[in-house]
A = this chain, B = another copy of it.
Amino acid sequence: MEPEKILNISVDCVVFGYDITTKSLNVLVIKRFLEAEGKVLVDDYVLTGYHVYKQETLDQTATRVLKELTGLTGQYKKQFKAFGNPDRLTNEKDIIWIKNEEFNLRTITIAYYFLLKTEDVDVNKNKYQAKWFPVNNLPELGFDHKKIIEEAYEDLKIKCLSEPIIFKLLPDKFTINEAQDLYQSILGIEIDNRNFRRKLINKKYIIALDEKQVGVSKKPAQLYMFSLDLYEKMFKKNYLINI
């Protein structure tokens, strides 16, 4: 039996997935489809989310929602904002949709984002018809989910500048250029490769492995890993005022 739900409080999850091959930062959304009498009433996408259960923390709700959608656990997650405007679920299609759901029109949602690799999710046999879209080229989205994604993306942009979260989006073993490509994808900027390379290599927590790329048709690049352990050991807040 399903635990008791809080009908007016939900968690929505912005699942960011980085595709290292296409160098694309993507968002995972699910299909919202409804037809009646042969007529399509709703056909768009929404974020994955669910009610908070009476006996769980918000973090647990988020973890549960991600697992239900992707089967994954232990991914990086961050609660970044609550959305609670009275009109946030009141577009025409939202109202049609909600009629079929056990759902309160005045629902407040706590929004989280997750960081993982696109390839870690098998979308083909996904029961929610989950699909990846580039964060800069989203489909039509229901509720206020476009806004939620945009705010998550802004938070991610800021956060990746000061915390080593990009490594959540990269494989354990990565090349300097792959890290650079990721920054460029997230921030939408060009970075000088020579300076970026030097900067990253000089960090003590970026560890050169005894390995190179395999299966590439040009000079294979050196592989590196990120050591969270070393990062945390050496970490001191430097309080650089930069206004």
Contacts and interface: CB of A to CB of B under 8 A. Distances in A.
B110 A108 contact: yes
B54 A86 contact: yes
Contacts of A239: 161, 187, 189
A81 interface: yes
Contacts of A79: 81-82
A150 B155 CA distance: 21
Contact of A162 (B8, B187, B243): B243
Interface string A152-171: 00000000111110100000
Query: How many A residues touch the partner, as a band?
Result: 35 or more
A6 interface: yes
Contacts of A52: 84, 108
Q: Chain B CB within 10 Å — which of A55, A58, A164 has the most?
A: A58
Q: Chain B CB within 10 Å — which of A58, A199, A243 has the most?
A: A243
A243 B163 contact: yes
B108 A9 contact: yes
Interface in A43-62: 52, 54-58
A137 interface: no
Given A9-B9, A9-B108, 19 more contacts: A8-B9, A52-B108, A54-B86, A56-B86, A57-B84, A58-B85, A58-B108, A82-B82, A84-B110, A160-B243, A161-B239, A161-B240, A162-B242, A162-B243, A183-B241, A187-B239, A196-B241, A199-B241, A203-B243
Interface of A: 6, 8-9, 52, 54-58, 79, 81-86, 106, 108, 110, 160-164, 166, 183, 187, 189, 196, 199, 203, 239-243
